Amino acid sequence: MDTNPSPRAPDQLLAVERILGFVLLFVGFIPVLLSLSSPVFEVGIAPFLMFLAGIILTVHSVFSHWSRWIIIGIAVLLDIAILLRGEVDLWHKQVLFLIAAIGGIYAYVSTDKKKES
């Protein structure tokens, strides 16, 4: 009797990474957006870490170009910097908003997709 679960196909794993990355992007971005519009709504570092983790998962699952490793490396370095600093200022929130806007525009106009095998 075989008790080992069957491994998932790579396409299924990429789809799961893509969905999880989008959820982390969304859940991390909404509190930051609300805190930009209202000074009463304060956020810690958790939304930033979730947003950057979403960037890492989404970039890894969507793009196949070598530059994805540069984007992943920058996101990891930003995660480490936020963890070491331990606090978030207003300009950090504004930079995150601009990164999200530029990344969304790039993802919308980009034609680079994973090749079907």
CB 72 within 8 A of CB 60: yes
- pLDDT value of residue 10: 67
- pLDDT value of residue 86: 82
- pLDDT value of residue 71: 83
- Tell me whether residue 115 is in a domain: no
Report d(CA 83, CA 45) in Å as an integer: 8
- pLDDT value of residue 3: 60
- Tell me whether residue 114 is in a domain: no
- Tell me whether residue 116 is in a domain: no
- pLDDT value of residue 15: 79
Along the 117 residues of the chain, how does pLDDT read in single tens digits? 556 655 656 677 777 888 888 888 888 888 888 888 877 777 788 888 888 888 888 888 877 778 888 888 888 888 888 888 888 888 888 888 888 888 777 777 775 555 555
DSSP state at residue 3: -
- In the chain, the number of structural domains is 1
Specify the residue for token string 């890492």. 56
| Residue 35 lies in domain | 17-109
- pLDDT value of residue 12: 72
- pLDDT value of residue 113: 57
Report d(CA 56, CA 21) in Å as an integer: 7
Tokens of 57: 């998962």
- pLDDT value of residue 38: 78
- Tell me whether residue 7 is in a domain: no
Specify the residue for token string 């999200």. 100
- Tell me whether residue 4 is in a domain: no
User: Over the Cα atoms of the chain, what is R_g?
Assistant: 16
Report d(CA 47, CA 42) in Å as an integer: 11
CA end-to-end span of the chain: 31
- pLDDT value of residue 116: 58
**H runs (alpha helix) in 1-117:** 10-37, 46-62, 68-85, 90-109
- Tell me whether residue 11 is in a domain: no
- Tell me whether residue 6 is in a domain: no
- Tell me whether residue 1 is in a domain: no
